[in-house]
């Protein structure tokens, strides 16, 4: 029997660097979601125009298209990964700052283009940070690294959604955006002092190889059937959970809660439970291994959906609301997301990390981006209680694939 090292022995320079880089990865996205929306709304843009600005987030879904370029080419003397991280981080610092200097009323196309550049550069930064994390961490550190980056990503939302919006009450938007942009600099400094990951094998010699070889390797590794199993599993692992929370605020309002009650539950239990879930998830994955974590966290993630069904039956109980909100945040973005990130990281070949992980993470975003658009129609036909039962049932296909995808007892896991 192999003796597992205590979790704190994995806290080192590599995992600490992932903390800073995860923060830099999330900041631009939450700036576009929270701060940009407030900026445009206070300028008097219509609801329809605000909705159209959501289209600028498309690069996050299609980042695998240009990931081969980042796998093939090196910029700056820092190395293949750190060079691209430095370029994207500096570009984001400038682009986020410039957003606040635009006039939404005078040039909607200009500010829309600037926001798209932020999204494109941010998605590109995600590609290379995910590749760096996969390559710099040892296999036994992947679970903890996944939990760290998930938590740091979420923590970055506090800068635009809390600090930025508070500042906006008394400061010009230019100062607000440049202040938020400045929080990209710690990640840039981390990039400068961090180590470049060691090269595994021979990187692609040209752009054609960078495009073809990652997909060929993935298919040939264990055969087409296993490759399709992995793709299907990534698509399905969080589909029930993702659908159940797509219109959660609308559900809470229809149940009879006030916006104040919803906000208090979110602040009192939601964010902190998600943070605790990520921390516990990382430590737990060290003990369980990634395969077993997918089983255990998947079950908890599915049970959290039943909490919503329970609330739909009970009605507006504030205590139950906080409990349901907290357990879902603990089990899904905390535990489930960390396990899936660790699994996707392990499924990549270190020679083609950027391209393969970008493909996996894009697939994981498909339910959130496309399938969730059908949620309103389903609820209209079923009602809230049976909708959550449907979501719970949709958690089963991925769980049934686990014996094939991630056997409980396998050579990857430590007994």
Give the largest Cα separation in the chain, rounded.
68
Helix axes 185-193, 80-99, angle to 10 degrees: 170
pLDDT category of residue 8 using cuts at 50, 70 and 90: low
Looking at the fold, whether 270 and 168 belong to one and the same domain comes out as: no
Tens digit of each residue's pLDDT (9 = 90 or more) over 172-231: 999 999 999 999 999 999 999 999 998 766 777 777 788 888 988 999 998 999 999 999
pLDDT category of residue 1 using cuts at 50, 70 and 90: very low
The CATH code of the domain that includes 250 is: 1.20.1250.20
Looking at the fold, whether 93 and 240 belong to one and the same domain comes out as: no
- List alpha helices for 156-204, DSSP H: 158, 165-168, 173-182, 185-193
The pLDDT, as a whole number, for residue 267 is 60
Question: To which H or E segment does residue 5 belong?
Answer: none
Looking at the fold, whether 240 and 351 belong to one and the same domain comes out as: yes
Looking at the fold, whether 6 and 77 belong to one and the same domain comes out as: yes
The pLDDT, as a whole number, for residue 41 is 75
Looking at the fold, whether 376 and 258 belong to one and the same domain comes out as: yes
Looking at the fold, whether 116 and 65 belong to one and the same domain comes out as: yes
Higher local confidence (pLDDT), 281 or 74: 74
Helix axes 290-314, 318-329, angle to 10 degrees: 160
Looking at the fold, whether 169 and 283 belong to one and the same domain comes out as: no
- Residue ending a domain, among 179, 198, 217, is 198
- Residue ending a domain, among 150, 181, 198, is 198
Q: From residue 142, how far is each of 134, 138, 224, 300 by CA, in Å?
A: 7, 7, 26, 21
The conformational region for residue 289 under phi > 0 = left, psi -120 to 50 = alpha, else beta, is left
Mean pLDDT of 75-92: 95
Whether residue 55 contacts residue 36, with contact meaning beta carbons closer than 8 Å, is answered with: no
Q: Based on the structure, what is the number of domains in the chain? A: 2
Report whether pLDDT(319) > 60. Answer: yes
Looking at the fold, whether 153 and 259 belong to one and the same domain comes out as: no
Looking at the fold, whether 67 and 136 belong to one and the same domain comes out as: yes
Higher local confidence (pLDDT), 412 or 132: 132
Looking at the fold, whether 44 and 86 belong to one and the same domain comes out as: yes
Mean pLDDT of 129-157: 86
Where b means 16+ CB within 10 Å and e means fewer, 185-224 reads: ebbbebbeebeebeeeeebbeeeebbbebbbeebeeeeee
Looking at the fold, whether 163 and 219 belong to one and the same domain comes out as: no
- Residue ending a domain, among 147, 181, 198, is 198
The pLDDT, as a whole number, for residue 51 is 58
Report whether pLDDT(56) > 50. Answer: yes
Tens digit of each residue's pLDDT (9 = 90 or more) over 284-297: 888 888 899 999 99
| Candidate ranges 45-49, 122-126, 140-144, 237-241; pick with highest mean pLDDT | 122-126
Mean pLDDT of 352-363: 88
Looking at the fold, whether 74 and 156 belong to one and the same domain comes out as: yes
Structural domain harbouring 391 = 205-415
Residue corresponding to tokens 């039943």: 306
């Amino acid at each position: 029997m192999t003796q597992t090292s205590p979790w704190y022995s994995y806290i080192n320079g590599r995992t600490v660097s992932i903390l800073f880089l995860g923060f830099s990865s999330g900041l631009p996205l939450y700036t576009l979601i929270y701060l940009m929306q407030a900026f445009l709304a206070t300028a008097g843009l219509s609801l329809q125009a605000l909705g159209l600005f959501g289209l600028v987030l498309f690069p996050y879904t299609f980042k695998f298209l240009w990931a081969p370029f980042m796998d093939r080419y090196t910029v700056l003397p820092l190395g293949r990964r750190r060079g691209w991280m430095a370029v994207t981080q500096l570009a984001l610092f400038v682009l986020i700052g410039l957003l606040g200097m635009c006039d939404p009323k005078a040039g909607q196309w200009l500010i829309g283009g600037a926001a798209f550049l932020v999204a494109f550069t941010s998605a590109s930064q995600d590609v290379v940070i995910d590749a760096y994390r996969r390559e710099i961490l040892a296999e036994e550190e992947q679970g903890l690294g996944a939990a760290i980056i998930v938590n740091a990503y979420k923590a970055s939302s506090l800068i635009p959604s809390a600090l930025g919006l508070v500042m906006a009450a008394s400061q010009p938007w230019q100062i607000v955006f440049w202040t938020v942009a400045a929080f990209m600099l710690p990640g840039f400094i981390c990039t400068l002092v961090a180590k470049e990951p060691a090269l595994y094998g021979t990187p692609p010699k040209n752009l054609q190889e960078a495009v073809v070889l990652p997909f060929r390797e993935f298919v040939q590794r264990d055969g087409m059937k296993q490759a399709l199993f992995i793709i299907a599993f990534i698509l399905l692992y969080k589909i029930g959970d993702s659908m159940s929370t797509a219109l959660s605020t609308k559900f809470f309002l229809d149940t009879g809660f006030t916006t104040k009650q919803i906000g208090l539950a979110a602040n009192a239990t939601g964010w902190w439970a998600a943070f605790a879930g990520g921390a516990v998830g990382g430590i737990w994955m060290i003990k369980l291994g990634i395969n077993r974590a997918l089983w255990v966290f998947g079950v908890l993630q599915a049970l959290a959906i039943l909490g919503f069904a329970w609330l739909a039956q009970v009605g507006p109980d504030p205590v139950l609301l906080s409990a349901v909100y907290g357990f879902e945040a603990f089990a899904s973005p905390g535990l489930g997301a960390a396990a899936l990130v660790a699994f996707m990281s392990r499924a990549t070949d270190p020679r083609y990390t950027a391209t393969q992980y970008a493909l996996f993470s894009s697939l994981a975003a498909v339910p959130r981006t496309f399938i969730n658009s059908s949620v309103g129609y389903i609820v209209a036909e079923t009602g809230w209680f049976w909708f959550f039962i449907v979501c719970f049932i949709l958690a089963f296909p991925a769980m049934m694939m686990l014996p094939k995808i991630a056997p409980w007892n396998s050579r990857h896991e430590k007994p």
